[in-house]
A and B are shown apart, each in its own frame.
Chain A
Amino acid sequence: MAAIAAVVSIGRPSRSTRVARLMLVGGAISVLIGLLVLPLLTIFAQALSQGVAFYVDAIGQPDTLAAVRLTLTVAAIAVPLNLIFGLAAAWSMTHFQFRGKALLSALIDLPFSVSPVVAGMMLILIYGKDGWLGAWLEAHGVQVIFALPGLVLATVFVTLPFVARELIPLMQAQGSEQEEAALTLGANGWQIFFRVTLPRVRWALLYGVLLCNARAMGEFGAVYVVSGHLRGITNTLPLQVDQLYQENFTAAFAAASLLASLTVLTLGIKRFLEWRQSGASDRH
């Protein structure tokens, strides 16, 4: 803890406040290391515990590669859907006053507080064999549950609030004045959106998309319920990790390390974006 250089916030630092500082910062770092860093390191340590060759081989398994492809496909559909939803919801919630707005806001938040497992359950009740739309879907030869559409629906549900929640506070803080200025200058709706609104929220938007993507690729509970775990067919990467975990510990961690790398990458880009953003706000 010698590297800790606490900054004087108020008053003259007495011995006791310096000790307090050291304890606070030390405590916080211990919490972060014990609770967050160790599990992260464990993943990579376990993945490589049987050597690099084993690691490469484990990732190269056809089922694992199929899981990676499926995960990418699901994210490629779900993330753009939520991006558009987030933009529409933020535009509606921040530029207009209307009845039921508070209720709408609560509905947008709902997926955050619903258990992913419950989300999957609800989808089964609608699209499952005995569900509301089950018979109709079967008659038309559409399979939702235990197939790609089910995975996408579950992922969309779970990640629905991410982009909207990132944009709404920012756009609320920015107000409608610039959009109104653009309007009085003759811009139409799309011109206002693309030339005025979008450039101003681009970093927040990117950040929201990033988190949404990380969650979409890593979603487990909701997807677990609707997937059916058909190896090589409806197993996304997290589900593949789960199945491998029962059979081959190290291979499971190898697959998990891919997801963990994605996480580290996401957090790294987020940090970079925040740094860019603070740089941009200096300029603007």
Chain B
Amino acid sequence: MGIQISRLYRRFGTFVALDDVSLTIGDGEFVAVLGPSGSGKTSLLRILAGLDQPDAGSVQRDGHDLLALDARRRGVGLVFQHYALFPHMTVAQNVAFGLRVRPWRLRPKAAVIKASVETLLRKVELDALADRYPAQLSGGQRQRVALARALAIEPRLLLLDEPFGALDAQVRVNLRGWLREFHRSLGITTLFVTHDQDEALEMADRVVVMNRGRIEQIGTPQQIYRQPATPFVSRFIARGQALSGQVQDRHLHLLGQAWSLDGFDTEDAHEMTVHVQPEDIQLAPRYGDGVKAQVIGLRHVAGTVRAHLRVEHRDEPLEAEWNERDWTRHGGAAGDVVDVHFQALTVFGTDREGHVRQRVTIHPPHAGVSVAVGPWRRVEV
């Protein structure tokens, strides 16, 4: 059953925070809402938590109206971006808070509260720090206290607002895996918002990409990355880079090459956008074959080489990502002119309102012909 969010609207003055947002979350699912700041993801979270109300739309949980419940009866655990731990309470008191404020008929006995706080703190590996104050903890520890505190009320939905936003890069990466495992062991339906692509793609079962209050795409991390539905998703997540060319006779003419636009209705598209991802710009197997590009910058990052390439008709450099080994075999330095192949291009056709109507991934004209493998690499077709 899970949670059905349908057609949420929310505006603040003239700013549209949520624009027709619909989403279904399955029981036990781990969903990431990914978007830049101002995309509406936090608004969505606050509405689910009961800290805000939409202008229109509904949220149902197992067929019941969730919006009708006020925040304190909703059973939604929220972990705030900056944790919002109570500074005047110890770790244990923070975690016990949700149980201690229950109406006394529903309030567990002190001993029971104590036991469940201990259990929770053990789960988040903080049992040794129960009597510390939040200010005496590290960022990662605070985050786990906030998590334990939210879990103490046995929520049926767990919401995390930028869970790693306030942490150091190193702690961040460690906690990702920990949280993923933690979710697996608990099985609570969890929704977290983030602006960090890696975080969303690495952790979530499904990713919801938002931009300007609208959902751009919902899908598994692989789908989002390999088949971005809109130019925005392509740019924001798949690092898609726009190229310009001309359309003639159902072919796209781009940097001296003609690409067949099979399966794409050029008549229907008001505007076309062509994107290429960095890993789809590869070194050509043979000299003189492909597109000429001047290497204007090289950065070596953990086994890969990120090259900035200057090509014709494009003011900004294109970024390409190569295997370090390939680049070493190819040889060269910044300033050299190299030949590159575009392995795949994604073409979006948008209508007058800017909505994406068509999307195809096209392959180079020589694909299937030029399978010739150089001495140092294999071309996958």
Question: Which residues from 62 to 101 on chain B have a C-beta closer than 8 Å to any C-beta of chain A?
Answer: 71-74, 76-78, 80, 82, 84, 86-88, 97-98, 101
**Is B360 located at the chain interface by the 8 A CB criterion?**
no
Interface size class of A (residues with CB under 8 A): 10 to 19
Whole-angstrom distance between the alpha carbons of A284 and B76 in the complex? Answer: 27
Expressed in whole angstroms, the minimum distance between the Cβ of A84 and any Cβ of chain B is: 22
Contact of B84 among A180, A186, A187 (CB under 8 A): A180
Flag whether A101 is at the interface (Cβ < 8 A). no
In the bound complex, what is the Cα–Cα distance between A183 and B135 (angstroms)? 22
The CA-CA distance from A183 to B98 in the complex, in Å, is 9
Interface-centre pick from B50, B76, B87, B149 (highest chain A CB count, 10 A): B87
- Residues facing B in A251-284 (CB within 8 A) are 283-284
Interface: B175 (CB within 8 A):
no
A144-202: which have CB < 8 Å to B? 177-178, 180-188, 191, 195-196, 199-200
- Residues on A with C-beta less than 8 A from B84 are 177-178, 180-181
Contact A184 B78 (CB under 8 A): yes
Q: Which of A177, A181, A191, A196 has the most CB of B within 10 A?
A: A181
Binary interface profile of B, 129-150, with partner A (CB < 8 Å = 1, else 0)?
0000111100000000000011
Contact A184–B71 (Cβ < 8 Å): yes
B49 within 8 A of A: yes
**In whole Å, how far is B255's beta carbon from the nearest beta carbon of chain A?**
51
In the assembled complex, which residues on chain B have CB atoms less than 8 Å from the CB atom of A186?
72-73, 98, 101-102, 153
The docked-state distance in angstroms from the alpha carbon of A177 to that of B133 is: 18
- Smallest CB separation, B69 vs chain A (Å): 11
**Does A184 lie within 8 Å of B77, measured CB to CB?**
yes
Q: Does the CB pair A188–B86 fall under 8 Å?
A: no
Q: Is B56 an interface residue (CB 8 A)?
A: no
* Chain B contacts for A180, CB-based, 8 A: 49, 51, 71, 78, 80, 84
Give bound CA distance, A184 to B74, whole Å. 8
If A195-B101, A199-B88 touch, whether A187 touches B72 (CB-CB below 8 Å) is yes
A183 cross-chain contacts in B, Cβ below 8 A: 50-51, 71-72
- State whether B82 touches A283 (Cβ < 8 A): no
Given A180-B84, A185-B149, A186-B102, decide whether A284 and B97 contact each other with a Cβ distance below 8 A: no
User: Given A183-B51, A184-B51, A185-B101, are A284 and B78 neighbors across the interface (CB < 8 Å)?
Assistant: no
Give the residue name and chain of the A residue nearest to B106 (CB): A186
Given the interface contacts A186-B72, A284-B88, A284-B134, does A181 sit within 8 Å of B78 by beta carbon? Answer: yes
Give A202 Cβ to nearest chain B Cβ, in Å.
Answer: 9
CB-CB < 8 A to B101: which residues of A?
182, 185-188, 191, 195
Do the beta carbons of A182 and B97 come within 8 Å of each other? yes
Q: With a CB–CB cut-off of 8 A, which chain A residues contact B88?
A: 199-200, 284
Query: Quick one: which of A185, A191, A195, A284 has the most chain B CB within 10 A?
Result: A185
Residues 1-47 of A contacting B (Cβ, < 8 Å)? none
Partner of B87, one of A185, A187, A200: A200
Nearest-Cβ distance from residue B202 to partner chain A, whole angstroms: 27
Check B49–A184 contact: CB distance below 8 A: yes
Residues of chain B lying within 8 A (CB to CB) of residue A188: 72, 101
Chain B residue numbers with a CB within 8 Å of A177 are 80, 82, 84
Residue of B at shortest CB range from A202?
B88
A11 to chain B, nearest CB (A): 34
Give Cα A283–Cα B134 distance, bound, in whole angstroms.
Answer: 9
- Say whether A185 contacts B51, CB under 8 Å: no
Q: Which of B237-281 contact A (CB under 8 A)?
A: none
Q: Known contacts A185-B97, A186-B72; decide if A284 and B87 are in contact (CB<8 Å).
A: yes
Chain A residue with the shortest CB-CB distance to B76: A184
Contacting pair B98 A185 (CB below 8 A): yes
Could you say which residues of chain B place their CB within 8 Å of the CB of A284?
87-88, 133-135
Q: Are B97 and A187 in contact (CB under 8 A)?
A: yes
Find the residue from A181, A184, A200, A283 having the highest chain B CB count within 10 A: A184
* Least distance between B139 CB and chain A CB atoms (Å): 15
Q: Which residues of the partner chain A approach B77 to less than 8 Å between Cβ atoms?
A: 184
**Cα distance, A187 to B71, chains bound together (Å):** 9
Interface flags, A78-122, vs B, CB<8A=1, else 0: 000000000000000000000000000000000000000000000
Contacts of A187 in B (CB 8 A): 72, 97-98, 101
Name the CB-closest residue of B to A198: B88
Rounded to whole Å, the gap between the CB of B288 and the closest CB of chain A is 62
In the complex the two chains form, what is the Cα distance from A196 to B51 in whole Å? 17
- Provide the residues of chain A in CB contact with B74, threshold 8 Å: 184
Shortest CB–CB separation between residue B45 and chain A, in angstroms? 11
Q: List 28 A-B contacts (CB under 8 A).
A: A177-B82, A180-B49, A180-B80, A181-B149, A182-B101, A183-B50, A183-B71, A184-B49, A184-B50, A184-B51, A184-B74, A184-B77, A185-B149, A185-B150, A185-B152, A185-B153, A186-B101, A186-B102, A187-B72, A188-B72, A191-B101, A196-B86, A199-B86, A199-B88, A200-B86, A283-B136, A284-B88, A284-B135
Q: What would 7 more interface pairs be, CB under 8 Å, given A184-B76, A196-B86, A199-B86?
A: A177-B84, A180-B49, A181-B84, A184-B71, A185-B97, A186-B72, A283-B136
- Could you tell me which A residues sit within 8 Å of B by CB distance? 177-178, 180-188, 191, 195-196, 199-200, 283-284
Closest 8 CB pairs of A and B: A185-B98, A187-B101, A181-B84, A284-B87, A177-B84, A199-B88, A284-B135, A184-B78
